[in-house]
Amino acid sequence: MEKIIDESNQGETLSLDKNIQNTRKLYIESYGCAMNFSDSEIVASILANEGFNTTQELENADLVLVNTCSIREKAETTVRKRLEKYNAIKKKRPHMKVGVLGCMAERLKSKLLEEEKIVDMVVGPDAYKDLPNLIQEIDEGRDAVNVVLSKEETYGDISPVRLNTNGVSALVSITRGCDNMCTFCVVPFTRGRERSRDPQSILDEVNDLWNKGFKEITLLGQNVDSYLWYGGGLKKDFDKASEMQIATAIDFANLLDMVAQVQPKMRIRFSTSNPQDMSLDVIKTMAEHENICNQIHLPVQSGSNRILKAMNRLHTIEEYFTLIDNIKEIIPDCAFSHDMISGFPTETEEDHKDTLAVLDYVKYDYGYMFSYSERPGTMAARKMEDDIPEEIKQRRLSEIIAVQREHCMLRTKQHLGKVEEILIEETAKKDETMWMGRNSQNIVAVFPKENYKLGDFVNVKMNDCTSATLIGKADGLSNIN
């Protein structure tokens, strides 16, 4: 008993000290891909050491950071609108500083300072460790910019502060940058060359998450299947590595296996896979481990070989189908999702029909669908005219979405009548008496709470569904708990 009191006293003193030190409030907002959300947790960690506490209230912030996305023009427009909102608040809080992080920072560099007067600081995705210096600059009244891209930075040594967490699922980044140079994509320019994170630091983070009660992780990278650790450095320099480094290198299949073994009860997902880099070893590793979820996000972008070539996607649609067939053979209940782009330059009705045919072939569980948005500086922008009229792009997009919607329904219905293991993530949005979680295939399920708790793995009998949500009833705890 005494010991417990001692410990709690100590805890209080510690948090008191922290409160005295942490006097400034950081409001951080993230847009775009999961990688940005993960990066914001790294930024929050770096700034916690500088005396910043995160706040959920923009109106109380001393420092506002917006982690931005450049993938489509609309993503940038959204951020610019947010900057207007910050401007209105700054009128009431003149000492408030505003920093732009992420892909827009990297793409626009110091131009952002000229275009958006509210911005004090511009920081690219590889420069977050420089934030303490940059903040000192803006504190002294100067604008600050660091958009240097790095060959080594993976933030592997930083323990992220989990933001907006449900305490159950977490993001773990494993690679940074992308070497693929898809002609439509701005990411290789904003996030630099590809590099992988030290596997030991990944395992340490996974163990730490498990000890803190987390039950599910998503391994993140622009192109996870391209993961390759040979002691650090760029992926493209691997051929300059020593014999020893080459012999002991760790690829994504090896990493998955290590992560699955180090915490055999931790659920594992990963994103994103580029079909050209996904090996059968990865699929076999998925099949070998119960705790790796049966779900693959496998963007294809188009069903036309001519368009795939123009996009610099380094596989044909036939090779993609073979990959899908192989996965289905090894993991029969594997769920698939996709990214698709309508209206890439020169796309004909015939090409568009090929895209619809891919949907019909795979019958994806769900997908992310976009109309082509020309991005300055990309190969497509430099070499090809954005020649598909907006209304045609949109019409094709809605046709893709309509087919996908049917497939969502079809796939979700396949789970009806089954008992599936669901990891409870949070209270259902529409009904406080229900839990929300996902099955291995990443399909959302809701069911009455009864006596189950957040983070429990529960066997749920699926009785009903909408196109994207299963509705069920718990049938006891899963024996994994």
Binding site for ligand SAH (CB under 6 A): 33, 71-72, 184-185, 187, 222-223, 272, 299, 301, 339, 341, 370, 372-373, 375
When asked if residue 274 is in the footprint of ligand F3S (CB under 6 A), the reply is: yes
Nearest approach in angstroms of CB 431 to ligand F3S is 37
Which CB atom, from 323 or from 341, has the smaller least distance to ligand SAH?
341
Q: What part of residues 187-226 is at the interface with ligand F3S (CB under 6 A)?
A: 187-188, 222-223
Q: Which of ligand SAH, ligand F3S, none does 370 bind, CB closer than 5 to 8 A by kind?
A: ligand SAH
Calculate helix-pair angle for 390-413, 349-362, nearest 10 degrees: 10
What is the Cα–Cα distance from 35 to 372, expressed in whole angstroms? Answer: 22
What is the Cα–Cα distance from 96 to 87, expressed in whole angstroms? Answer: 10
Q: Which stretch binds ligand F3S (CB under 6 A): 179-187, 198-206, 401-409, 453-461?
A: 179-187
CA-closest candidate to residue 437, choices 263, 207, 224, 267:
267
Q: Give yes or no for a contact between 190 and 70, defined as CB atoms under 8 angstroms apart.
A: yes
Size of the site for ligand F3S (CB under 6 A): 10
Q: Which stretch binds ligand F3S (CB under 6 A): 120-128, 175-183, 359-367, 369-377?
A: 175-183
Nearest approach in angstroms of CB 301 to ligand F3S is 8
Nearest approach in angstroms of CB 380 to ligand SAH is 7
Backbone angles phi, psi at 477, to 5 degrees: -70, 145
Residue 278 half-sphere exposure, CB side, CA atoms within 13 Å? 25
Which CB atom, from 378 or from 441, has the smaller least distance to ligand F3S?
378
Which CB atom, from 190 or from 439, has the smaller least distance to ligand F3S?
190
Q: Which of ligand SAH, ligand F3S, none does 341 bind, CB closer than 5 to 8 A by kind?
A: ligand SAH
Nearest approach in angstroms of CB 30 to ligand F3S is 17
Which CB atom, from 188 or from 303, has the smaller least distance to ligand F3S?
188
Q: Which stretch binds ligand F3S (CB under 6 A): 60-68, 185-193, 239-247, 358-366?
A: 185-193
Which CB atom, from 355 or from 439, has the smaller least distance to ligand SAH?
355
Nearest approach in angstroms of CB 184 to ligand F3S is 7
Nearest approach in angstroms of CB 180 to ligand F3S is 4
Nearest approach in angstroms of CB 104 to ligand F3S is 16
Which CB atom, from 160 or from 221, has the smaller least distance to ligand F3S?
221
Kindly provide the b/e burial profile for residues 18-40, where b requires at least 16 CB atoms within 10 angstroms of the residue's own CB.
eeeebebbbbbbbbbbebbbbbb
Helix (H, G, I), strand (E, B) or coil at 225: helix
When asked if residue 234 is in the footprint of ligand F3S (CB under 6 A), the reply is: no
Cis bond before residue 272 (omega within 30° of 0): yes
When asked if residue 178 is in the footprint of ligand F3S (CB under 6 A), the reply is: yes
Q: Which of ligand F3S, ligand SAH, none does 335 bind, CB closer than 5 to 8 A by kind?
A: none
Residue 480 half-sphere exposure, CB side, CA atoms within 13 Å? 19
Nearest approach in angstroms of CB 174 to ligand SAH is 12
Written as one string, the DSSP assignment of 355-404 is: HHHHHHHH--SEEEEEE----TTSHHHHHS---S-HHHHHHHHHHHHHHH
Q: Which of ligand F3S, ligand SAH, none does 188 bind, CB closer than 5 to 8 A by kind?
A: ligand F3S
Helix (H, G, I), strand (E, B) or coil at 115: helix
When asked if residue 302 is in the footprint of ligand F3S (CB under 6 A), the reply is: no
Nearest approach in angstroms of CB 51 to ligand F3S is 35
Helix (H, G, I), strand (E, B) or coil at 434: strand
Which CB atom, from 375 or from 407, has the smaller least distance to ligand SAH?
375
When asked if residue 185 is in the footprint of ligand F3S (CB under 6 A), the reply is: yes
For residue 88, give both structure tokens.
């209105």
Which amino acid type is present at position 377?
Answer: G
What is the Cα–Cα distance from 104 to 58, expressed in whole angstroms? Answer: 21
What is the Cα–Cα distance from 19 to 21, expressed in whole angstroms? Answer: 5
Strand partners, 68: 102
Show the beta-strand stretches assigned E in 245-363.
250-251, 267-271, 295-297, 335-342
Nearest approach in angstroms of CB 342 to ligand SAH is 9
Q: Give yes or no for a contact between 125 and 148, defined as CB atoms under 8 angstroms apart.
A: no
Nearest approach in angstroms of CB 297 to ligand SAH is 8
Q: Which of ligand F3S, ligand SAH, none does 424 bind, CB closer than 5 to 8 A by kind?
A: none
What is the Cα–Cα distance from 34 to 44, expressed in whole angstroms? Answer: 16
CA-closest candidate to residue 120, choices 96, 136, 144, 139:
144
Q: Which of ligand SAH, ligand F3S, none does 375 bind, CB closer than 5 to 8 A by kind?
A: ligand SAH
Nearest approach in angstroms of CB 341 to ligand SAH is 5
What is the Cα–Cα distance from 406 to 394, expressed in whole angstroms? Answer: 19
Among 68, 154, 180, 412, binds ligand F3S (CB under 6 A): 180
What is the chain's length? 481
Cα→Cα distances 412→125, 267, 328, 336, 402, Å: 37, 21, 17, 12, 16
Q: Which of ligand SAH, ligand F3S, none does 373 bind, CB closer than 5 to 8 A by kind?
A: ligand SAH
Residues that bind ligand F3S (CB under 6 A): 178, 180-182, 185, 187-188, 222-223, 274
